[in-house]
């Protein structure tokens, strides 16, 4: 018989440990000192179980008995006593205690970093206001997430206002919290000399970054041959404009216009200087892998280039292609976070409440994903392999947790195994990108 870990009990233990020193996560030392119907643990569990309904409907689901009914006002007052760091603490504690991780080649953590936008209810006092059009301001935050591709779990998160987002800085923020022997995979938009050199100097961290064929800031990529190749590249970088102007025709040199050498106090977003953490001169080394991924509509070969510091002896060019393909897992994870767990529909317009709900949904994503990893999925002689339906698993897990059925964990696993969907590999569909606004509070499904 397989010994399963009761994940719901693990989550309960973490919440109980958090509430034992709840005053580390409240606005006042006097909060949650009286014995009330809505204790700190009850408020936390209620927020974790929220879906996409109106707040009244959510509270009715959480407290269905007439003598235990809770008003929206009472719940909001108790919730206001907490700070977002409470849910962030639970999020990191849960990741530490469910550390049964799969490793690539029994050695490497395979992680991906990417960002996604979340539209928020309008709040004139919000720090997340965007006004790119100068006519119709709206609220939107950009969530930079670190995702474990082999274990299907979020590991870290940096929240930024959409108007001030900087995905490269978010990588540098999360870099110091990465485990040893971590391979971090990133998409186009991340390559920069500062980021590459910071990762090069951080022991035990490897990176795989997709670069633009034009090279962007790295001119050497554009000069790669029109065939598959695997080369070591050295880039000489300087912040001295005088040196660049004098020697740019004699040697390959890149000039970074850092703010140290600028004389204008203010610049527009388009001419804003890049970040640079090193000296006036620096030589940056990396490996460039170019391979073919298909053919364009006109019949020309289609190429991709990856920038990495992985050793060539262990990771051949063919392996690099398969490794980068794993990055798509973070795209499907964002889709599940938004639409399966209901993170696109928040229950408040205040910034700190929205941040609480975001971390609560990250926690529940990891809870559901860890439970799904324990479920047994029988594979028969059908055309496709099968996996658990994540949306139904989310509904079932929240139902059990809301009703305090932690002791029925084996029954929960059996019930999840009843909802399977086929894995149709190789399917392609053009992404339909379109702007999406936040769903107003009065237009929620009953």
At 331-367, the pLDDT tens digits run 999 999 999 999 999 999 999 999 999 999 999 999 9
The rounded distance, in Å, linking the Cα atoms of 343 and 362 is 9
The rounded distance, in Å, linking the Cα atoms of 139 and 354 is 11
Smallest Cα–Cα separation from 282: which of 193, 169, 191? 193
| Tokens at 292, concatenated | 């073919």
**What is the pLDDT confidence band of residue 2, given thresholds at 50, 70 and 90?**
low
| Tokens at 239, concatenated | 């912040």
Residue 109, phi-psi category: left (phi > 0), alpha (psi -120 to 50), beta (remainder): beta
What residue has token string 């798509």?
328
Question: CB within 8 A of 248, min separation 6: which ones?
Answer: 255
Whether residue 273 has pLDDT greater than 70: no
**pLDDT attached to residue 446:** 63
What is the average pLDDT across 382-401? Answer: 92
**3-class state of residue 293 by DSSP:** strand
Question: CB within 8 A of 104, min separation 6: which ones?
Answer: 110, 150, 183, 323
**pLDDT attached to residue 258:** 58
Of 333 and 100, the one with more pLDDT: 333
**What is the pLDDT confidence band of residue 239, given thresholds at 50, 70 and 90?**
confident
Tell me the torsion sign for CA atoms 245, 246, 250, 256. Answer: negative
DSSP structure class, residue 83: -
Task: Give percent of the chain above pLDDT 90.
Answer: 65
| Tokens at 41, concatenated | 């643990």
CB distance 149 to 160 below 8 Å: no
The rounded distance, in Å, linking the Cα atoms of 439 and 405 is 32
Whether residue 251 has pLDDT greater than 90: no
The rounded distance, in Å, linking the Cα atoms of 55 and 76 is 10
Return the bridge partners of 421, or none: 387
Phi and psi for 114 in degrees, rounded to 5? -155, 170
Phi and psi for 287 in degrees, rounded to 5? -105, 130
Smallest Cα–Cα separation from 199: which of 220, 172, 181? 172
DSSP structure class, residue 125: T
What is the average pLDDT across 79-84? Answer: 96
Whether residue 274 has pLDDT greater than 70: no
Strand ranges inside 314-357, DSSP E: none
- Among 46-50, 245-249, 402-406, which stretch is predicted with the lowest mean pLDDT? 245-249
**3-class state of residue 236 by DSSP:** strand
CB distance 293 to 303 below 8 Å: yes
- Among 196-200, 212-216, 326-330, which stretch is predicted with the lowest mean pLDDT? 212-216
**pLDDT attached to residue 416:** 94
The rounded distance, in Å, linking the Cα atoms of 330 and 320 is 18
At 103-144, the pLDDT tens digits run 998 999 999 999 999 999 999 999 999 887 767 889 999 999
At 18-77, the pLDDT tens digits run 999 999 999 999 999 888 889 999 999 999 999 888 999 999 999 999 898 999 999 999
What is the average pLDDT across 238-249? Answer: 86
Sequence-ordered alpha helix ranges (H) in 276-350: 317-325, 328-335
| Tokens at 223, concatenated | 């000069």
**pLDDT attached to residue 131:** 83
**What is the pLDDT confidence band of residue 254, given thresholds at 50, 70 and 90?**
confident
The rounded distance, in Å, linking the Cα atoms of 406 and 366 is 17
CA atoms within 13 A on the CB side of 351: 13
Smallest Cα–Cα separation from 343: which of 329, 328, 330, 354? 354
- Among 48-52, 196-200, 421-425, which stretch is predicted with the lowest mean pLDDT? 421-425
The rounded distance, in Å, linking the Cα atoms of 347 and 441 is 7
On whether the pTM is more than 0.85, the answer is: yes
């Amino acid at each position: 018989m397989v010994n399963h870990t009761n994940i719901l009990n693990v989550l309960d233990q973490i919440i109980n440990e958090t509430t034992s020193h709840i005053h580390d996560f409240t606005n006042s030392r006097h909060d949650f000192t009286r014995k009330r119907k809505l204790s700190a643990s009850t408020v936390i569990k209620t927020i974790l179980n929220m879906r996409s309904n109106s707040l009244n409907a959510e509270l009715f689901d959480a407290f269905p008995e007439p003598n235990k009914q809770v008003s929206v006002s009472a719940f909001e007052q108790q919730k206001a006593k907490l700070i977002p760091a409470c849910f962030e603490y639970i999020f990191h504690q849960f990741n530490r205690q469910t550390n049964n991780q799969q490793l690539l080649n029994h050695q490497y953590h395979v992680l991906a970093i990417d960002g996604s936008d979340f539209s928020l209810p309008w709040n004139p006092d919000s720090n997340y206001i965007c006004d790119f059009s100068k006519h119709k301001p709206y609220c939107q935050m950009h969530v930079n997430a670190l995702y474990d591709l082999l274990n299907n779990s979020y590991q870290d998160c940096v929240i930024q206002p959409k108007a001030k987002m900087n995905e490269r800085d978010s990588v540098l923020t999360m870099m110091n919290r990465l485990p040893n022997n971590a391979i971090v995979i990133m998409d186009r938009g991340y390559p920069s000399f500062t980021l590459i050199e910071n990762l090069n100097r951080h022991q035990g961290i490897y990176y795989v970054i997709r670069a633009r064929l034009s090279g962007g800031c790295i001119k050497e990529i554009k000069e790669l041959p029109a065939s598959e190749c695997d080369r070591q590249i050295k880039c000489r970088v300087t912040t001295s404009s005088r040196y660049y102007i004098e020697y740019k025709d004699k040697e390959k040199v890149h000039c970074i216009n850092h703010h140290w050498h600028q004389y204008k106090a203010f610049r527009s977003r388009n001419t804003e200087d890049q970040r640079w953490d090193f000296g006036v001169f620096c030589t940056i080394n990396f490996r460039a892998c170019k391979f073919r991924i298909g053919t364009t509509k006109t019949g020309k070969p289609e190429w991709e280039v990856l920038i990495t510091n992985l050793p060539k002896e262990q990771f051949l060019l063919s392996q690099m292609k398969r490794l980068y393909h794993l990055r798509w897992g973070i795209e499907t994870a964002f889709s599940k976070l938004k639409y399966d767990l209901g993170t696109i529909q928040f229950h408040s317009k205040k910034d700190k409440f929205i941040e609480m709900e975001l971390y609560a949904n990250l926690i529940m994503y990891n809870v559901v994903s860890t439970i799904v990893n324990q479920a047994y999925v029988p594979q028969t002689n059908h055309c496709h392999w099968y996996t658990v339906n994540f949306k139904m698993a989310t509904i079932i897990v929240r139902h059990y947790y809301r009703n305090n059925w932690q002791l029925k964990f084996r029954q929960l696993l059996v019930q999840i195994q009843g909802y399977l969907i086929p894995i149709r590999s190789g399917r392609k569909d053009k992404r339909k990108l379109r702007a999406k606004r936040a769903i107003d509070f009065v237009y929620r499904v009953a």
